[in-house]
Structure 1
């Protein structure tokens, strides 16, 4: 027997939500790994244009796509009393970690709890390996065909915001504050907030719809840095190399091999553990670059991880006096915890909304980042809310329509929560203090 939706509202929103979601994921909006312009790929503009058309059709007359790929729109308030302006944010790009072109979404109605063999790529979704999947028997699931990602990260969030906003626009009798909507580009490569104009957006706070498990609320992320180690050697014809060749590629391999293998790697850590993740080694005997991302919830520990990576490279390269090492460290995004702490009403509002949807809020940490990481540091407190998607950045990605509908319904209830007098008053007080 099919599993029940969390509420009649969620059930009513589900059909339109599914139509939007499957429409959006078919557009290839994979972010480029290196950005030379915003957005980094033209597919993101294609999604943006579609969203603007749909927002205009829903009655949001100021919907627009700017030259950098940001979609913005406003849904006016339906109440006369004081209430803060609230933002809703999701990103249109998908990860370059798995193929994103030619996505063919498949809908699996009333999932029976068995392994799902997808038709392409030999991909199998096995609940024995995916505890979250095992809990979704009776749900309607959406997957890719097996040789691409699905794009639930974050087109599930996009579809949920669009569905909720269209519902609110069609029902002016529902109480709501002014809502500001923004869909960002290139979040997957850490650039979603780079050209975000917080002042022009004009919201007291915002919420990213970019989480996973139903009921999830996240107000803490990794602090993130990227490290590039560039090693210059001395190249020469290998037939005449004795005593002359300094092989940068071999030195790079020694650096990576010297890093801890039993700790501080993504595959050996979880919870609040940080890591050093070497994700690319490229080059040749003359010059080789090792690229790594470094993550931790504690800023001091993050600095220690970066120092370990630097020290390891320096010690290896120092063994060959003719080699040279360059170390480039770039901050990527901060832990949003300290920026959200002064505004407890922001997370209280979404907790009320989740409970109103019949769920119990689950506060978790993000072993990654969202646009909210940087937006919070930029002065726009922005926690993260669930979407119902799972196994992101892979061909195993899937989403529960039941949980996606719960997320869309939660947005509707969040709008109502912000019209409650105590939250509105708290926001007014916080804004004055700021």
Structure 2
């Protein structure tokens, strides 16, 4: 008898190779949605492929979101489930001209990337490579990121969609597909229409190690510190000039280095991280991101940061500062704990796909963080990519196939338990 685990998962590798060659890098400086028009190039391709599968409502909206529906094939009243991934790649590393390379039958060696041999992916630095012996590893060529974050997730959802459309013996309720722009710059669900989507629950396919599912993210704020200095002609500045740029530099230098920074924290430890410094003598602006798993600790970190700012400014009586906190997202566990079936089905689906489920917390966020608080409970399932946002990014073809089967099991389990 044909089962999900005996289905031949065809096409996920080819789709992934095709998608990563479309440049979709997002731009945090842009005010448009999507932030880069080129993200719609991939969107147009995906809609064409979804339509070719027989999905009649697949479309790309004006803001760069893709919506599509796989109709239910069950007589039961089954909750509507959405699978979601993002189309953009990180601004941190070029996504233009990606040349994917397949390393067949990997045997545990270092992977030297040919276009820049100084870029070497080593098992000693990438622990999950030790579990990939015999698998097929895809990397970029050494001058760009790969784009597994999150085109692996897109390829997996697209492959699962085709299998659901061609295998009616897999019973499921209504399945929604959502592909978003601008996740990498924190705007992935800014313009999404959840009423139009019409889902009850969702899963982002945007995680890392095969078998992992994440129900907890950081809570996140952005902090903007604006320093107003005293500008005087430098030829006559003695005892008068108070440079906002130098004051800002002192504030950054005053941050703890042995704790509360990304370089010195791990696990459930939070951090304060300066991500931008701009300005001139009269005014300088520092942008920070603040992260922790609880809102209380988040606020504690912000209070410590402001104390550093105040202490620094106390040495410059002619200067002032403005301290602005903006909420970015919150720990999705606060929502998901109220909907235990969502995680229970995700964990069981991973197990049915032949893996030991790994329940994790994310030192970061996903579209699912905000979707959960918008009323769509949404944990994060593995997509199989590793070393995101850099030239050492890699993904295993076999792990992508496992993700496809996990998606199919999630769809089937919701129908089975309805």
Structure 1 and Structure 2 fold alike (TM over 0.5): yes
CA distance in 2, matches of 1:185, 1:22: 19
Q: Which runs of 5+ in 2 are unaligned?
A: none
CA distance in 1, matches of 2:192, 2:344: 25
Counterpart in the other structure of 1:41: 36
Q: Tell me the CA shift for residue 199 of structure 1.
A: 2.1
Q: Deviations over 1:311-354 (max 9, x none)?
A: 21122123212222122211111100011111111111112211
Aligned with 2:163: secondary structure? helix
Matched, 1:254 2:250: yes
Counterpart in the other structure of 1:113: 108
CA distance in 2, matches of 1:8, 1:233: 68
Counterpart in the other structure of 1:207: 203
CA distance in 1, matches of 2:115, 2:165: 40
Counterpart in the other structure of 2:92: 97
CA distance in 2, matches of 1:166, 1:237: 68
Counterpart in the other structure of 1:427: none
Counterpart in the other structure of 2:285: 289
Counterpart in the other structure of 2:334: 338
Query: Which of 66, 69, 85 is equivalent to 1:71?
Result: 66
Matched, 1:271 2:267: yes
Counterpart in the other structure of 2:383: 387
Tell me the TM-score normalized by structure 2: 0.97
Higher mean Cα deviation, 142-151 or 190-199? 190-199
Matched, 1:57 2:49: no
CA distance in 1, matches of 2:266, 2:5: 33
Counterpart in the other structure of 2:82: 87
CA distance in 1, matches of 2:186, 2:389: 15
Q: Tell me the CA shift for residue 78 of structure 1.
A: 0.9
Q: Tell me the CA shift for residue 7 of structure 1.
A: 4.6
CA distance in 1, matches of 2:53, 2:233: 66
Q: How many residues align?
A: 414
Matched, 1:222 2:218: yes
CA distance in 2, matches of 1:292, 1:258: 14
Q: Tell me the CA shift for residue 148 of structure 1.
A: 0.8
Counterpart in the other structure of 2:309: 313
Q: Tell me the CA shift for residue 141 of structure 1.
A: 0.5
Aligned with 2:38: secondary structure? helix
Q: Tell me the CA shift for residue 81 of structure 1.
A: 1.5
Counterpart in the other structure of 2:393: 397
Higher mean Cα deviation, 35-44 or 398-407? 35-44
**CA 1:238–1:226: 2 relative to 1, 3 Å:** same
Higher mean Cα deviation, 148-157 or 196-205? 196-205
Counterpart in the other structure of 2:412: 416
Counterpart in the other structure of 1:180: 176
The 4+ residue runs of structure 1 with deviation greater than 6 A are none
Tell me the TM-score normalized by structure 1: 0.93
CA distance in 2, matches of 1:225, 1:120: 38
CA distance in 1, matches of 2:172, 2:29: 40
Query: Which of 136, 141, 151 is equivalent to 1:155?
Result: 151
Aligned with 1:342: secondary structure? coil
Q: Deviations over 1:333-382 (max 9, x none)?
A: 11000111111111111122111111111100000000110000111010
Counterpart in the other structure of 1:127: 123
CA distance in 2, matches of 1:24, 1:329: 37
Matched, 1:349 2:340: no
CA distance in 2, matches of 1:85, 1:30: 31
Q: Deviations over 1:62-84 (max 9, x none)?
A: 00111001000000011111211
CA distance in 2, matches of 1:8, 1:347: 24
CA distance in 2, matches of 1:394, 1:287: 33
Q: Deviations over 1:93-123 (max 9, x none)?
A: 1111111111111111011111111012321
